[in-house]
Chain A
């Protein structure tokens, strides 16, 4: 007996909030706008909690159909919602972190123009993201997919009068679109070969198929195309270029969309399609390789950046790479675990960065910061928790999730593990670099920087000097800090004495019947057919090895800390010397390996030139416009010629009559003689 949980309320409540704020918000006071936005997203969160509490009494997977949508021949797609452990985890993350960011934004955006617009867009984003997560078929998920891209565009370009913001919004949307193209082709292939886009139907159709070896095949194609879509949405190579530019948007936007939720949609989608990926080893390998490369690549760039938000952006790209490594080696629940902890600590880091920026009056360059430790204590302590979490230092959340991924990566290939380990070192290094530069030593900024004269973040409340953020901004920071500290504890692996409840919880989702996977992976528990438990009892040696590797990861994190401490606390002059001695290499990294410039010359400029020449001049102007102009001109000419018939001259009229009569007579004669 499946009770009706009214799952449709979850996405719809934020949509109502968005509509109210969007249509009437201009007339509301700020308090009303904030109230509306918070109450509707809060209501969605409460609903999710209610669902979570009744979760154990439900039959999993739990589906609810709202209405039939498309019925074309044998193909059917419905407005239907799908609830299983994976959806529940995503729902909790999206609504929980989303609600916290809503609260934070009330404080952060209080003095900005367009207050109502911001919250309307934010609620709209929640609607689309929740649709994406709850969808029971790929098509509804695609609606959510596109919708979050739209919301991202609207929010990145929130300060649309600023050219760079508007351009960044466009870049995000267009690059996303390229990924979506791959996604769409994958959907078409699915429809063609399996006749449906419903998750359950696809899973049932794909399960009996055997894994494709040799690299080519339908499932490999679908998997690769899905990965293209995921690369666009989750900012992997080569479609990551939009994420650093997206920092033009307000910081809460960066926190919500580009750290916690939207960019994780790609990981979620790949996990949902695990049935397909597990039978296409080549695609899985591509996923892992892309993830590895991206993680390393972005981390190297993050080391050299001076804008606090850009460092965090590249860090996000890098951490997403980790999640894809996990997916690529078949450890889907590890990927989701890291997704969850990353939402906590990256969201925290972004919000705290926003608090720092707010405190120093809009300055984002870390070289102008410093010594803020004593001046903004709440921000400092919460950001410390976040930094330690991302570096992977136990017992914080990041350690458990990252370690899980590295362990699973090692079991697939040493290369993945080694790269991941080095990237972890880099991560720790640049995060602590950020920490030291921002909070320690002496304040390097201009004395009156807190006047707030830089446009995106002025405040007129007359605060002078560096000040702590208001409580409405600090409380979400604290909550996220607590979560970053404790969030990993539900995933403590067996080797450290825990029972890894998270993995077991999600394992039910990732059951598959593929017999031919690596037996070591089977032992590690990702794939057994009849068991709900995914963590099969491991031999003691497995535990010991895992402990050793955990130790190595912690060591890497500590080395990173040490290096940062050395370069940015003890010897602050060294970084500059190292940079100048590395010369060209350093320059290349600082300029993001000139990838944007490369794309511009290879793709953007030819496209613009081609459009202008062929489509604009050739077709639009010379064909379409010309046709219309010439027909108008022709009409003019014809009437000009005919005008002469009406001359007012009687005799010419008579002439025409006589000529016409002659014609008629001729015709009659001709008809008569036929």
Chain B
């Protein structure tokens, strides 16, 4: 939570990125508490390890500086923030009212990684394959989008 709030508070994006890493780490611990070791491991490796690194790369690459104060959007502040507040308060109220005090067992679930693998390659095979294709497309898109205009069209006559 501290990390999340800090993300909002910081002005320089690199500080926000580092706060996000903190959030990821804490979440990994939470997952462990909930008995999802595999997910925790994946969280640390993929999210904190790959995605955040990517973010930091881009921030460094683009030399993003402090946020300048520009004329913002009235709508965002007028409608959005109160709206969001309303929404979250409602959600919170519902959760508190309705969920009762159902307890969650701590500790690992038996045979989790093996079972996850089983589910992934049997019941959820199709989503798995589709997701892999999605990743492929994302890679191609990222390459195309981020490529330097000169290198791609350098072969063409100007």
Minimal beta-carbon separation of A637 from chain B (angstroms): 20
Q: A654-B80, A658-B83, A658-B84 are in contact. Are A665 and B74 (CB under 8 A)?
A: no
**A residues 36-75 with Cβ under 8 Å of B?**
none
**A residues 637-674 with Cβ under 8 Å of B?**
647, 649, 651-652, 654-663, 665-666, 669, 672
Interface bits A619-653 vs B (CB < 8 Å: 1, else 0): 00000000000000000000000000001010110
Q: Is the CB of B90 within 8 A of A666?
A: yes
Residues of A within 8 A of B81 (CB): 655, 658
Q: Is the CB of A662 within 8 A of B76?
A: no
Residues of B within 8 A of A662 (CB): 82-84, 86-87, 90
Asked if B104 is at the interface (CB within 8 A of a chain A CB), the reply is: no
- When C-beta atoms are compared, the residue in chain B nearest to A663 turns out to be B83
Q: Is the CB of B73 within 8 A of A655?
A: yes
Residues of B within 8 A of A659 (CB): 79-80, 82-83
**B residues 93-128 with Cβ under 8 Å of A?**
93-94
Q: Is the CB of A655 within 8 A of B79?
A: yes
- When C-beta atoms are compared, the residue in chain A nearest to B97 turns out to be A673
Minimal beta-carbon separation of A674 from chain B (angstroms): 14
Asked if B140 is at the interface (CB within 8 A of a chain A CB), the reply is: no
Residues of B within 8 A of A649 (CB): 73, 75
Residues of B within 8 A of A651 (CB): 72-73, 75-76, 80
- When C-beta atoms are compared, the residue in chain B nearest to A661 turns out to be B87
Q: A662-B84, A666-B86 are in contact. Are A655 and B91 (CB under 8 A)?
A: no
A669–B94 Cα gap in the complex (Å)?
Answer: 8
- Partner pick for B90 among A655, A660, A669, CB 8 A cutoff: A669
Residues of A within 8 A of B94 (CB): 669, 672
Asked if B2 is at the interface (CB within 8 A of a chain A CB), the reply is: no
Asked if B62 is at the interface (CB within 8 A of a chain A CB), the reply is: no
Residues of A within 8 A of B73 (CB): 647, 649, 651-652, 655
- The total of chain A residues at the interface (CB under 8 A) is 18
Q: Is the CB of A652 within 8 A of B90?
A: no
Minimal beta-carbon separation of B121 from chain A (angstroms): 36
- When C-beta atoms are compared, the residue in chain A nearest to B85 turns out to be A662
- When C-beta atoms are compared, the residue in chain B nearest to A664 turns out to be B87
Minimal beta-carbon separation of A631 from chain B (angstroms): 29
Minimal beta-carbon separation of B29 from chain A (angstroms): 29
Q: Is the CB of A655 within 8 A of B86?
A: no
Residues of A within 8 A of B72 (CB): 651
- Partner pick for A658 among B87, B90, B91, B93, CB 8 A cutoff: B87
- Partner pick for B75 among A652, A665, A669, CB 8 A cutoff: A652
- When C-beta atoms are compared, the residue in chain B nearest to A644 turns out to be B75
The secondary structure that dominates the B interface is helix
**B residues 10-27 with Cβ under 8 Å of A?**
none
Residues of A within 8 A of B76 (CB): 651-652, 654-655, 658
Q: Is the CB of B87 within 8 A of A655?
A: no
Residues of B within 8 A of A658 (CB): 76, 79-81, 83-84, 87
* Interface-central residue, A652, A657, A669, by most chain B CB under 10 Å: A652
Residues of B within 8 A of A666 (CB): 86-87, 90
Asked if B145 is at the interface (CB within 8 A of a chain A CB), the reply is: no
Asked if B61 is at the interface (CB within 8 A of a chain A CB), the reply is: no
A657–B79 Cα gap in the complex (Å)?
Answer: 9
Q: A651-B72, A658-B84 are in contact. Are A665 and B90 (CB under 8 A)?
A: yes
Residues of B within 8 A of A654 (CB): 76, 80
A457–B93 Cα gap in the complex (Å)?
Answer: 100
Asked if B78 is at the interface (CB within 8 A of a chain A CB), the reply is: yes
Residues of B within 8 A of A655 (CB): 73, 75-81, 83
* Interface-central residue, A649, A655, A657, A672, by most chain B CB under 10 Å: A655
Residues of A within 8 A of B79 (CB): 655-656, 658-659
- When C-beta atoms are compared, the residue in chain A nearest to B80 turns out to be A655
A657–B77 Cα gap in the complex (Å)?
Answer: 12
Residues of B within 8 A of A665 (CB): 86-87, 90-91
Residues of A within 8 A of B86 (CB): 662, 665-666
- When C-beta atoms are compared, the residue in chain A nearest to B93 turns out to be A669
- When C-beta atoms are compared, the residue in chain A nearest to B71 turns out to be A649
A651–B77 Cα gap in the complex (Å)?
Answer: 9
Minimal beta-carbon separation of B75 from chain A (angstroms): 4
* Interface-central residue, A647, A658, A661, by most chain B CB under 10 Å: A658
A661–B75 Cα gap in the complex (Å)?
Answer: 14
- When C-beta atoms are compared, the residue in chain A nearest to B94 turns out to be A669
Minimal beta-carbon separation of B56 from chain A (angstroms): 23
Residues of B within 8 A of A672 (CB): 94
A657–B73 Cα gap in the complex (Å)?
Answer: 13
Interface bits B34-52 vs A (CB < 8 Å: 1, else 0): 0000000000000000000
A647–B77 Cα gap in the complex (Å)?
Answer: 15
Residues of B within 8 A of A652 (CB): 73-76
Residues of A within 8 A of B80 (CB): 651, 654-659
Minimal beta-carbon separation of A151 from chain B (angstroms): 72
A146–B141 Cα gap in the complex (Å)?
Answer: 82
Residues of B within 8 A of A663 (CB): 83
- When C-beta atoms are compared, the residue in chain B nearest to A645 turns out to be B75
A651–B72 Cα gap in the complex (Å)?
Answer: 8
Minimal beta-carbon separation of B72 from chain A (angstroms): 6
A656–B73 Cα gap in the complex (Å)?
Answer: 11
A657–B86 Cα gap in the complex (Å)?
Answer: 13
A657–B75 Cα gap in the complex (Å)?
Answer: 10
A655–B83 Cα gap in the complex (Å)?
Answer: 8
A666–B85 Cα gap in the complex (Å)?
Answer: 12
Residues of A within 8 A of B83 (CB): 655, 658-663
Q: Jot down 30 A-B pairs with beta carbons below 8 A, ordered by A.
A: A649-B73, A649-B75, A651-B73, A651-B75, A651-B80, A652-B73, A652-B74, A652-B76, A655-B83, A656-B75, A656-B79, A657-B80, A658-B81, A658-B83, A658-B84, A659-B79, A659-B80, A659-B82, A660-B83, A661-B87, A662-B82, A662-B83, A662-B87, A663-B83, A665-B86, A665-B90, A669-B90, A669-B93, A669-B94, A672-B94
List chain A positions with a Cβ less than 8 A from chain B.
647, 649, 651-652, 654-663, 665-666, 669, 672
Query: Lowest 8 CB-CB distances: which A-B pairs, in order?
Result: A655-B80, A655-B76, A662-B83, A659-B83, A652-B73, A652-B75, A659-B79, A662-B87
